[in-house]
Structure 1
């Protein structure tokens, strides 16, 4: 067998999936753990602000122009 350890998530029914990740941390190198920590920190930061971006279609552009024009008339 070429793996360092059989993954208990798939081969040990008594193993709790909620805690199985803790045992698998030992399979990662120090560099891999540091990279995972950076990724988690980045994703947590991204969760704070979720900006929606899209390319508006012609109808939306026209509607936005009408709204902007109506606001300027007051």
Structure 2
């Protein structure tokens, strides 16, 4: 299992959104990824501030609302 990969569900461990679940949308470089979640804004995040889970979502489209609904169904 790759820890940091597109579609991986993770928990933010730092910042105002700490403790919230998010999905990795894009890997920017070795230190940063783009994350979105139900209570997480679509933004860049340092990978050291994420705790990957064993869950993964298959990203079928770029529709943020659809991704959020799929994430809600996992919770």
Instruction: Tell me the TM-score normalized by structure 2.
Output: 0.22
Instruction: Tell me the TM-score normalized by structure 1.
Output: 0.22
- The structure, 1 or 2, with the larger RCO (C-alpha pairs under 8 Å, 6+ apart) is 2
Query: Whose helix fraction is larger, Structure 1's or Structure 2's?
Result: 1
| Larger Rg belongs to | 1
